[in-house]
Structure 1
C-alpha cells in the first residue's frame, strides 16, 4: 500500500463506499471469456465470423454510448447486441439479442472471482461497525445479480446504481444519493475505494472523500488518478492498514 496524502486518511470514516467492477472483482478476464462465448454463438446462429462481428460490435457500442451519454443504459449489453445485429444487415432480432445478452452475463459471472481478501475485508469493516455502501455504474438488475452471485450483498447498508441515480458516477449524483441513504451529511468523513478516474476524482469532488485507488496486479498501463490519497494492490494490505486507523479511531 502506498500513502500519497496522509492527512485525509488519518481520520476514522463515518462510512466507506466501494465501487464494484475492477475493484472488488476483476472484470477483464471474465469479459474476454464472455465475448468469446458470444462470438461462438453468433457464428453458429447467424453465420457471422468473429472479425465482422467485432467490427459491428465496436461501432454499435460507440453509437449507443454517444446516443445515451453518461447513463446506465449506455452500458447495456442488450442494446449493444441489438444494434450489432442491425449493423450486420439483419433486423433487430429481439430473441437473438436477448440470448446473446444472457450468454454474455452468464459466462462472465461463471468466470468472475472476487479479489483475494475482498470479502474478508468487507466482513471486518462491518464487524468494526462501519456502514458500507456500493456505488456503481450500470443497470440495477445486473449489478444486483453480481452482488448476489458473489454472496456479498448482505455486507452493504446501501447500494446505488447509476440507473437509480439517473446518471453515471462522473455526474456526481450517485455519491450524494449514497450519502443520503446512509443518513450522513456533506461534512461527515467518508472513504471511497475504486479503480477508475470516475471513482476517485468524482467521489472527491462530490463528497470530499478520502480516496483509495485499487490498482491492477501486473499491468504496466495503469496510472495514479488525480487526487488519490492512497493506492493498494491487494485487499489484504488494505485491510491490515485499515486496522491501524479504525482501532486508533
Structure 2
C-alpha cells in the first residue's frame, strides 16, 4: 500500500464534499501536451515557412513573456496568446487566422491523447452514490477546462466547477478556494482537497482548514508529502481506503 496518512494519530473524518484539481490530478498532463505542441509546431513550420527550432524557441519565449506580463491569472495559460506572441517574435506580426488554427490544432490533439488515471471515474461515482458533494478548482480559462471535463465524460460527476478565470486568480491564491467553498455551502473543515501540487493545491487549501490529499507519481519518482494529510498515487487504492471503514463516518462497502 502506497497510501500514507499524516494525521498525527487523529481519525480521518469522512467529508461532506471533496474538491479536485484537474491537470495531473485526474489525468497525466505531460504526454498529451507534448503531442499537442509537436502538432502545433509542425503546422507553424508549414504555414510560416520557418525552421522548426526557431518555432520552438519563439513559442517558449512567448510563453515566458505572457506569464511574466499577466502573472497568476487564467489568461496567463492561454495557448492562443502564446501562439500569437510566438508568431510575432518570428517577425510575422499578428496573424489571426494562423494563431486560431494553431490553438485549435493544439487542443484537438491534446484532448485526443488524454486519459483519466485508472479508478478516477469509479471513485467519483461512488462518492456521488454516497451523497458526498464534489467540485473542481482548476487553473486556466473556463472554456478549455469545461471541454476537458466533458471529453472525459465527467460533466455529470461534479456539483460545481470553479476555474481561475471565474475566480479572477490562479491557485494558491484565496479567491478560487473561497468561491468553491461558497458554492458548496459546506464548512471547510468538512471538505477534502485532492490535488497534485504541494503549493497550489495543498498550501492553498490548508489555511481554510480543509483536509488535503496529495496525489504523487511514485513511478516517476516525483512528489513530496508537502505537509498534506494524505499522500497517495492510485485512485483505486484511495477508493478502497475511503470505504474500508478506516475513514470515520464513511460507509464501509
Structure 2 length as normaliser, TM-score?
0.93
Which is worse superposed, 169-178 or 6-15? 6-15
Supply the distance in 2 between the matched residues of 1:49 and 1:34 (Cα, whole angstroms).
18
Supply the distance in 2 between the matched residues of 1:51 and 1:218 (Cα, whole angstroms).
31
Unaligned runs of 5+ in 2: none
Q: 5 Å matches for 1:25-64?
A: 25-64=27-66
Offset at residue 44 of structure 1 (A) = 1.0
Q: Report the structure, 1 or 2, having the larger helix content.
A: 1
Name the residue aligned to 1:224.
224
Supply the distance in 2 between the matched residues of 1:49 and 1:199 (Cα, whole angstroms).
39
Name the residue aligned to 2:72.
70
Supply the distance in 1 between the matched residues of 2:50 and 2:232 (Cα, whole angstroms).
42
Task: Provide the secondary structure at the position in 1 that maps to 2:126.
Answer: helix
Q: 5 Å matches for 1:1-249?
A: 1-5=3-7, 10-186=12-188, 188-197=189-198, 198-205=200-207, 207-220=208-221, 222-243=222-243, 244=245, 245=247, 246-247=250-251
Supply the distance in 2 between the matched residues of 1:170 and 1:232 (Cα, whole angstroms).
21
Task: Provide the secondary structure at the position in 2 that maps to 1:148.
Answer: helix
Residues 167 and 128 (structure 1 numbering): CA distance in 2 closer, same or farther, change over 3 Å? Answer: same
Supply the distance in 2 between the matched residues of 1:217 and 1:93 (Cα, whole angstroms).
43
- Which whole-Å deviations, capped at 9, do the CAs of 1:145-166 have from their partners, x for residues lacking one? 0011111011111110000000
Offset at residue 4 of structure 1 (A) = 2.3
Supply the distance in 2 between the matched residues of 1:115 and 1:235 (Cα, whole angstroms).
7
Contact persistence 1:39–1:49 (CA under 8 A): no
Residues 82 and 7 (structure 1 numbering): CA distance in 2 closer, same or farther, change over 3 Å? Answer: farther
Supply the distance in 2 between the matched residues of 1:214 and 1:179 (Cα, whole angstroms).
21
Structure 1 length as normaliser, TM-score?
0.94
Offset at residue 48 of structure 1 (A) = 2.0
- Which whole-Å deviations, capped at 9, do the CAs of 1:11-47 have from their partners, x for residues lacking one? 1112100000000011100000001101110111112
Supply the distance in 2 between the matched residues of 1:35 and 1:9 (Cα, whole angstroms).
45
Contact persistence 1:42–1:49 (CA under 8 A): no
Unaligned runs of 5+ in 1: none
Task: Provide the secondary structure at the position in 1 that maps to 2:136.
Answer: strand
Q: May I ask how many residue pairs the two structures share in their alignment?
A: 245
